[in-house]
Amino acid sequence: MIGIFDSGSGGLSVLSALRKQAPKADIVYFGDIANAPYGGKSPDELAALVQNGMRVLAEHSATEIIAACNSIAFSVLAGAAGHERLIEMTRPTARMMRAFAGERVLLLATQATINAGIYRDALWSIVDLDELPIPELAGAIEDEKTAVEITAIVRAALLKKTGKIYEKVLLGCTHYPLVGGTIEREMRGLFPQAQIIDPAEAVAREAVERFDCEGSGTVTFLISKDTHAFRNRIAPLFLETQCTLQVI
């Protein structure tokens, strides 16, 4: 059983990529919405949340883990998960970014991810990296703020990079692909030639290579707080596969 862990809805971008590549994988997904967003928390707080997330997933039979949250990648790499069969976001992303060696890349991520320096460490020798934290964005997505509010947050952040040139914009928070269309629209005027990179597929590919993906294709959702936004996001999946949702 593959466990996917995120602060809330962000890991759904990884879940969706994994289901495309491995429709038979049995998955248990923990969205820790009660503690979201993670991106403003300290390393100690994040380490404790990682331990809690691992406990929840182990109690629900997960034996292989995808930490589908960039904000916890530092804690995971520092050993907080205490798990060997685990994939986090930064290493598969770095491997994927080798295809773009030498290019100018803008990383969009939470403050915790930028503060931890994990992408600087992973990518400095591969690409010419610039970074932009968007502190309010993941929380706004989780809370299903209006398109107008999301657009304003994205626009205000991207404007800080006016005049810069990038070949790639890397989505370093798993929540961001959920508003990929808005990011795409807002960056067009600023960085017309830049292409958005979502690491979800590369992370899912690594799971397919390393994890047991032969099951009955069931998905068990666990959430630490019930929200309409999360239920709305997963509703389409309930039509096409065997799913359950539990508030824990």
Amino acid at 152: A
Is 173 annotated as catalytic? yes
Member of 38, 74, 166, 221 binding ligand DGL (CB under 6 A): 38
What angle do the packed helices 12-21 and 228-240 form, to 10 degrees? 10
Residues with Cβ within 8 Å of 28's Cβ and at least 6 positions away in sequence, in order, are 1, 2, 3, 4, 57, 60, 61, 62, 219, 220, 222
Q: Which of 58, 64, 82 is nearest to 215 (CA)?
A: 64
Provide the minimum distance between the beta carbon of 35 and ligand DGL in the complex, in angstroms, as a whole number: 8
Contact letters for ligand DGL, residues 166-205 (x by CB under 6 A): -------xxx------------------------------
Q: Which is nearer to ligand DGL, 143 or 212 (CB)?
A: 143
Find the binding residues for ligand DGL in span 106-125 (CB under 6 A): 110, 113
Is 69 annotated as catalytic? yes
Catalytic residue among 173, 219, 223, 234: 173
Member of 3, 4, 7, 118 binding ligand DGL (CB under 6 A): 7
Member of 12, 50, 70, 157 binding ligand DGL (CB under 6 A): 70
Placement of tokens 């009955």 in the chain: 216
Binding to ligand DGL by residue 71, rule CB under 6 A?
yes
Member of 33, 138, 194, 219 binding ligand DGL (CB under 6 A): 138
Interface ranges with ligand DGL (CB under 6 A) = 6-7, 10, 36-39, 69-71, 110, 113, 138, 173-175
Catalytic residues: 69, 173
